[in-house]
Amino acid sequence: MAERRDDAPDKAREEFFSEASELVDGFGRHLLALEESVENGHGPDPETLNDIFRGVHTLKGLSGLFGAATLSGLSHELENLLDDLRLGRIPLSTAVLDLLFDAVELYGRILSALKGEEAEPREEVLTLLASLAAVSNERSGNVAFIAEYELDPETLGVLTEYEEHRLRSNLQAGLALYRLKAKFPLATIDSALEELKLRVRPVGEIITYLPTGDGGDLDAIDLEILVASRSAAAELRQAVDSDAVSVDEVKKRDLSQARTPPAPRVGERTDDSAMDLPDGRETPSPPPVEDDEPAHASMHPAPHATEAVVMPAAAGGRDISLRSVSQTVRVDIRKLDRLMNALGELSLVRGALLRYAEKLRSEPGTRRLGMDLLGVHRAFERQLAQMQSGILEVRMVPLGQVFDKLARIVRQVSREQNKSVHFVVTGGETEIDKLIVEELSDPLLHMIRNAIDHGIEPIPERAAAGKPDTGTVALNAYQQGNHVVIEVEDDGRGIDPHAVLHKAVTMGLVSMEEAKSFSLEEAVSLVFMQGFSTRDTATAMSGRGIGMDIVKTRIAKLGGLVDIVSEVQIGTKITLTLPVTLAIVGVLTFVVEATVYCMPLSSMEEAVVFDSALVREVDGREVMTHRGVTLPVVRLARLFSEPPAPQRATKQFLIVARVGTRRLGMVVDRLIEQQDVVIKALGRTLAHVRGFAGATDLGDQRVALILDVPSLIEECLTAAEGRRANDASLAFRFGERS
């Protein structure tokens, strides 16, 4: 992980810097807008706050991805604070605004540091982290937050998250904080410390041990020990029972001396840590900063101007910020596609190289030469694989980018509809091809909107059904083999299959007879049918389905599959199964009727010898029992050719394809080999042909069609088989000809 930042391809690094700078710039702009609205007496604009939050969240994901830990750590803390702000848990005071402006400025400097243009602003980051933590701690409504105590940032800076948590909990519980100081001879420190621990434990909790001094003393070490205790200082001293150990209470700061916002004065302070602060807590007080200048300088001007002020040399600083703008270029995904194509061509060269090498090796006279060439081929292959994964890596982005946008939609829609919705997201870090991500946001938005519009009931209805007032919409993503699965789940009223059937029949989408043959599950899937809409009867039939056919089409175009499961009163779950990338696929090549085809390995389970004796017919479909499960079988020769080829006597093979939970056995004539191929689109004239995902060049001037397994499975397993048979055979005839 640590190396990731350095090893990440330059392009990716550039993209990272450009995106990060854009986010930071946006952050700065939004802050200015916020400040203006606060100064004009309006409250902070929730939309703007949320934009900032999402920006920082994205920045966090991005920097995590690139191993930029400081950036990611800072974003983590900021995100917490911004979350509190946008959810109204803490008010946006001028002091908090100052901190946010400081953050913008630091972001810029950290980014410059990552580029190696300046040293990392370590101390400033530490100070800001401590201040952010202080403000966030305050949110919990507890009086005692760490920054109120006389602990310098250096001490706070070396607490681990857990220690800080313990410190905070103890202070919040009203315990007093003590600082024990002692010099321990290094030779005996372990036993001396054990003894001290034994004495302190009955009266308090040791938070941390801080070595002080510079290590110049070889024989002894100065130690500061932070102890939280309910006891008074005198009792603690008595418990410690050693003149060598000094015990002092860490007091609360006199806030009137600290750099505090113009908050209502809290009056005289006592040192009673459990004292209640009436209004003072409304405004966070960052720990005093010795050097006030930079902090103030960053308060008002735009981020770039700020950089120039804060940089050690103003002129140099300006140079840097100008340069950083021109050095970062966002990469058009199409350029990556072109690279990918070039890579595909190189794969062909590799294939040819291998063939020549094998040929040379098989002949006695050139055996040696052949071996050498094989060695060259292997090296070439390795580099090629690295290039390929490098380019693929650049294309991959975390799904969180889309999910963040959705969170905002949930807030908006639930507010519009006066519904209470809890939006739970998991797996935002799951990575997927950038092209897919861009295509995903509309369908996901649609699904989420539907879940709230039609799924989640109004509060009274939920209460009547015995459900909690707040509905839940969950968005989960995870990788499953070469696929990414995205689920949108709600605990709303569910879809009534009978109502869907009724609607489909009245709309003339299915006949009465067909309707009777549907299972309940199949009936629910009818919401995906083209033209199906429940808009006018949304309430009556407790359904959803506005434009679900569009969702399905969009997902299918990405090579994905949509499944729906719903139970009345319990809720609905829609599952999208998508390929991780669109560019390169591992395929199995096989022959049907003397033509070579490719099947993506990601959608196949296994290939076995086909035994036609096992096939039986059920409801006019061929099925067989395979590994104890009934498997629908389709003979590709029959699908692809017209008229169907005569039954063959020779051995055939069965490829078991699977997408999501659906499986289909495909009978083919001969298996060839596995290889990686670059998918090429079929082109506009063939774009409407279903059943094929694209074509590829197999390396010996042969072009092969790549099966579009999801749509094939769809075609072959769909309930309304008879109705669609014409379409399907048309598609496959077309495929065969091309």
- Least distance from another protein to the Cβ atom of residue 190, Å: 6
Q: CB of residue 156 vs another protein: minimum separation in angstroms?
A: 10
Which residue lies nearer to another protein by CB, 111 or 598? 111
* Cα angle, residue 21 at apex, residues 16 and 25 outer, rounded to 5°: 155
Alpha carbons within 13 angstroms on the beta-carbon side of residue 43 total: 8
What is the Cα–Cα distance from 424 to 412, expressed in whole angstroms? Answer: 15
Compute the least distance from the CB of residue 662 to another protein, in Å: 35
Which CB atom, from 151 or from 565, has the smaller least distance to another protein? Answer: 151
Residue with tokens 């069965």: 654
Q: Residue 654 and residue 672: Cα distance in Å, rounded?
A: 13
Q: How far apart are CA 343 and CA 678, in angstroms?
A: 8
Q: How far is the CB of 73 from another protein (least distance, A)?
A: 2
Dist. CA 699–CA 702, nearest whole Å: 7
Say if CB 70 and CB 129 are below 8 A apart. Answer: no
| Nearest-approach distance from CB 141 to another protein, in angstroms | 22
3-state secondary structure of 230: coil
Contact 226, 167 (CB under 8 A): yes
CB of 208 to another protein, least distance (A): 7
Residue 370 CA to residue 353 CA, distance in Å, equals 10
User: DSSP readout, 167-229?
Assistant: HHHHHHTT-EEEEEEEEEEGGGHHHHHHHHHHHHTTTEEEEEEEEES-S--SSEEEEEEEEEE
Kindly tell me which of 161 and 673 has the beta carbon lying closer to another protein.
161
Kindly report the three-state secondary structure assignment for every residue of 582-611: CCEEEEEEEEECCEEEEEEHHHEEEEEEEC
Q: Which residue is listed with tokens 């002080």?
A: 212
Q: Which of 118, 337 has the CB closer to another protein?
A: 118
Q: Do β-strands 431-433 and 396-398 pair in parallel, antiparallel, or remain unpaired?
A: antiparallel
Q: How far is the CB of 126 from another protein (least distance, A)?
A: 5
Count of helix runs (H) and strand runs (E) in the chain: 25, 22
Structure tokens at 680: 């090429």
Environment class of 702 (CB within 10 Å of its CB; exposed 0-12, middle 13-18, buried 19+): exposed
State the minimum distance, in angstroms, from the CB of residue 196 to another protein.
11
Query: 196 or 576: whose CB is closer to another protein?
Result: 196
Q: Is the peptide bond before 710 cis (omega within 30 degrees of 0)?
A: no
Closest approach of Cβ 227 to another protein, in Å? Answer: 14
Number of C-beta neighbours around residue 79 at 10 A:
20
**Looking at beta carbons only, is 188 or 341 nearer to another protein?**
188
CA-based nearest residue to 443, from 524, 549, 527, 532: 549
Shortest distance in whole angstroms from residue 116 CB to another protein: 12
Nearer to another protein, 9 or 699 (CB): 9
Q: Which of 133, 444 has the CB closer to another protein?
A: 133
**Binding site residues, another protein, CB under 8 A:** 1-3, 6, 64, 69-70, 72-74, 76-77, 120, 122-123, 125-126, 129, 154, 157-163, 186, 189-190, 193, 208-211, 213-218, 221
- Beta carbon of residue 427, minimum distance to another protein (angstroms, whole number): 16
**Nearer Cβ to another protein, position 159 or 180?**
159
Asked if 412 and 51 count as a contact pair (C-beta separation under 8 A), the reply is no
- Of 214 and 617, the one with the shorter C-beta distance to another protein is 214
Helix, strand, or coil (residue 65): helix
Least distance to another protein, CB of residue 306, Å:
20
Residue among 216 and 312 whose Cβ is closer to another protein: 216
Whichever of 159 and 707 has its CB closer to another protein, that residue is 159
Please report the sign of the dihedral spanned by the C-alpha atoms of residue 211, residue 212, residue 216, residue 219: negative
